[in-house]
Structure 1
Amino acid sequence: MQSAPAATELTAVFARIQGMLLSQESAEAAAAQLSRAARELIGSAAGAGVSLLDETGRRASTAATDRAVESADAAQYELGQGPCLSAWATESLQRIDDTATDTRWPDWNRAAAAAGIASVLSVPVLYRDRCLGAMKIYATTAGAFGTREERRLLLLASAAGTLLGAAQGSDAPHRLSAAMQQALTDRTAVEAATGMLMERHSTDHESARRMLLTASRDQGRPLAQIARRVLERTADTAL
């Protein structure tokens, strides 16, 4: 169970951020506050960040506490693999106890280990029926995060989803930009294509999503465009 001091700190952070969310432009500043809060409230974290969908529907680090976080995130987007992308793709918590021995994202783990990052914890930022992005913390020592850190980061991410989603206001359906509306449409296409690839290749959700991410990276095309091509093509056509 969470301690009273920690609960008080989190309440203060949420109250400070909520006062900022008067417009969509405030969301990035709020994400920066949440990143700092994650690093400060989770003592074993050396750095933290929040990644959100940008206006094209692709992921971009909108807030990071330091250059190491920015660099690690950039490597994920370049390689098309890593715990942050997987947290976003699967909408589930991802934890790396030691980048030197973890085998799920070999290329990214090697890059992270070389940069001095040993432990990683990443969770999705959810708002109602969609995933806005992911929140992550890094540490320079192996085994830095356990169930206590998971609970705290999940709580922060839950608040982040509610607060960042609320930045759109109660009249969100009328105020959403065309770009954001397109992003939501794109997400539906990506989910449908992921399901089709799961069935076509008899694989799991994360592996199917990785196929889309890899094709997006290799072809230099937006993820949603790749997804639509999958939906339009026959089963015997290559991705």
Structure 2
Amino acid sequence: MSANSEPTDLALDFVELNKYLFTGGGAATALARLVVHAVKTVPGCAWAAITSWHTGEKPRSIASTGPVAASADELQYRLGEGPSLDAASSREVVWVPDLARDDRWPRFSAAALTETPARGVLSFHLLDEPARCALNLYSSDPDALTAESVTVAALFAAHARVLLLHADSSGKAAGLTTALNTSRQIGAAIGILMNAHHVTQEEAFDLLRQSSSRLNRKLRDVADDVMLTGELPPEEH
């Protein structure tokens, strides 16, 4: 892409990713596509990952382009230091052109140089809620992540923030849809049992709940059976 077309092309790419999310596409797949796109977009980037860090929990990578990025992330989580953690905890851009010449995280730098082919890191803060998130970009050569890389990655990170927010809201919407569907299933099953057994709503719900407990099956699955057959599922022998 040319310098003039790059912002427009990048925006269009993210429009497509957001459309994918809101037409039923999975958030995990969208995030996997995002990190692959980061490698293609940011000059000098060979591998990419996203750190998610909920308060009171250990950080984890919710997407990566493969074992190199995942391993570099995991070293930081295990050692409790590194550019990804600093970026997730602050709003600062963390740029490490050459891990061999950086002394901010001595344990991480030494481990990364020994255990991974990563030689440079560029991390951007993405979100604070529902979890602190950072976009982590790794280079295979020292000084491959340049000032141009920082500029392009900053634009990429701005779009990635929107995608992460959409991924969270689409996940909540999917959860709400599931809950509503389950509620409707149970309500319909209760109505069927009320009519079949001439019992009250509370008594019908108790029949459903007791069957679920005896059979060790989820309430919605027992409700499905009632909707299909008109009666509670038989005891298993």
Q: Same fold by TM (over 0.5)?
A: yes
Query: Could you say which residue in structure 1 is the equivalent of 2:124?
Result: 123
Paired residue for 1:145? 145
Change in Cα spacing, 1:56 to 1:42, as seen in structure 2 (3 Å) is same
Structure number with greater Rg is 2
SS at match of 1:21: helix
**1:225 matched to which residue of 2?**
none
Aligned Cα RMSD in Å? 2.9
Q: Is the 8 A contact 1:132 1:161 kept in 2?
A: no
Structure 1 runs not aligned, ≥5 long? 177-239
Alpha-carbon distance in structure 1 between the residues aligned to 2:56 and 2:150: 30
Equivalences for residues 182-221 of structure 1 within 5 A:
none
Deviations 1:37-87 (A, max 9, x none): 110012311111112246975421111112111111110000000000000
Paired position in structure 2 for 1:162: 162
Instruction: Check whether the contact 1:124–1:131 (CA below 8 A) recurs between aligned residues.
Output: no
The answer as to whether partners of 2:79 and 2:108 remain within 8 angstroms in 1 is yes
The residue identity in structure 1 corresponding to 2:124 is V
Structure 2 contact 121–136 (Cα < 8 Å) conserved: yes
Question: Contact 2:75 / 2:111 at 8 angstroms: preserved in 1?
Answer: yes
Give, as a single letter, the amino acid of the residue that structure 2 aligns with 1:3: A
CA offset at residue 172 of structure 1?
6.5
Q: How does 1:43-192 map to 2 (within 5 A)?
A: 43-53=43-53, 57-114=57-114, 115-126=116-127, 132-169=132-169
How far apart in 2 are the matches of 1:136 and 1:24?
27
Query: How far apart in 1 are the matches of 2:54 and 2:19?
Result: 23
In structure 2, how many angstroms separate the alpha carbons of the residues matched to 1:83 and 1:171?
Answer: 28
Does the CA-based 8 Å contact 2:99-2:109 persist in structure 1?
yes
The 1:170–1:133 alpha-carbon spacing in structure 2 relative to 1, beyond 3 Å, is closer
SS state at 2:141 partner: coil
What's 1:6 paired with? 6
Deviations 1:101-143 (A, max 9, x none): 210000110111122211110001136x776400011112111
Q: Which residue identity does 1:96 align to in structure 2?
A: V
Percent identical among aligned pairs is 28
- Amino acid in the other structure paired with 1:40: K
Give TM-score scaled by structure 2 length. Answer: 0.64
Tell me the matched-pair count: 173
Select between 65-74 and 147-156 the one with higher mean Cα deviation: 147-156
Question: What is the Cα deviation at residue 33 of structure 1?
Answer: 1.4
